[in-house]
Amino acid sequence: MNRLYYLAACSLISLIILNITWELFFNPLEKEGSWMVIKAIVLLLPLQGILKKNLYTYQWASMLILIFFTEGTVRLYSEIGVSRYFAFFQTFLSIVFFLSTIFFCKKMNSK
């Protein structure tokens, strides 16, 4: 269970860093950054609960992350250049976070 906890926490923190870096420094539309960096704030909302192993936070965060999975998938097929790599990693980290939270909840409920 600790492995699932660390996987969820690390993937969420990595996703926050990735979104901030992507939108501030590698935004394809505006060279000076984008207001889309605000979406990283949405990822900060479940961070405290994830780090405290709050089961309810794991449950709703697993649904919230699907928005980022969808965005990453759409941008993977629509972006060019370095943004395509960011989109791939956003999709990958979203899947890792989703699966680790789902299995963490399953383990917690089976206790």
pLDDT at 25 > cutoff 90: no
**pLDDT at residue 9 tops 90:** yes
Of 52, 56, 18, residue with least CA distance to 37: 18
Calculate the average pLDDT of the chain: 91
Cα four-point dihedral sign 30, 42, 22, 66: negative
Q: Quick one: pLDDT at residue 29?
A: 65
Tell me what percent of the chain is helix, strand and coil, each rounded to the nearest 5: 80, 0, 20
pLDDT of 94 > 90? The answer is yes
